[in-house]
Amino acid sequence: MKGRAGVVISRIPPDVLRKKFKLEKTPILWLTKIEGKNTVHPHRLEFLLHTLVNFMKKNSDPKIIFFDGFEYLVLENGFIPVFRFLTALKDYAIMNNTIVVIPIREEIFDTRELSILKREFGELKP
């Protein structure tokens, strides 16, 4: 979104995303079990939250977080811990003029989980 500083969290390596979407300056965090620059291990939810909160609090300008990797985090950590992580992220985003975009595949979740997600975060369809 124009006019907003952004950060991307994804399962796709940063070099691939930069090339595909021309993201020259946008910070990209790669969700992976491989250690390296700009990588985050999927089990380090607290570290990831801390990193994103620091990004949001950097200044008062509007921001956007594009979070592509929700299903991966659920596979690695379970639904409840990741849901708690996202609700905390949402609360910080509300307080810091930040939009969080989280694309999901509905067919991966059971009816109860999907209902909880939609109730807490709303739903946008393409």
The pLDDT assigned to 10 comes to 97
The pLDDT assigned to 37 comes to 93
Q: Provide the 10 A C-beta neighbour count for residue 126.
A: 3
**Full DSSP string of 39-54:** EE-TT-HHHHHHHHHH
Helices 79-95/45-57 angle, 10° precision: 10
Q: Structure pTM?
A: 0.91
The pLDDT assigned to 126 comes to 63
Distance, in Å, from the CA atom of 5 to the CA atom of 41, rounded to the nearest integer, reads 24
- The two tokens of residue 19 are 């090339």
14: Cβ contacts below 8 Å, ≥ 6 apart:
28, 29, 30, 38
Please name the residue that has the structure tokens 């609090």. Answer: 57
Walking along the chain (126 residues) 10 residues at a time, the average pLDDT comes out as 86 94 92 96 98 95 95 97 97 96 91 94 76
Could you tell me the fold of the domain covering 5-120? Rossmann fold (3.40.50)
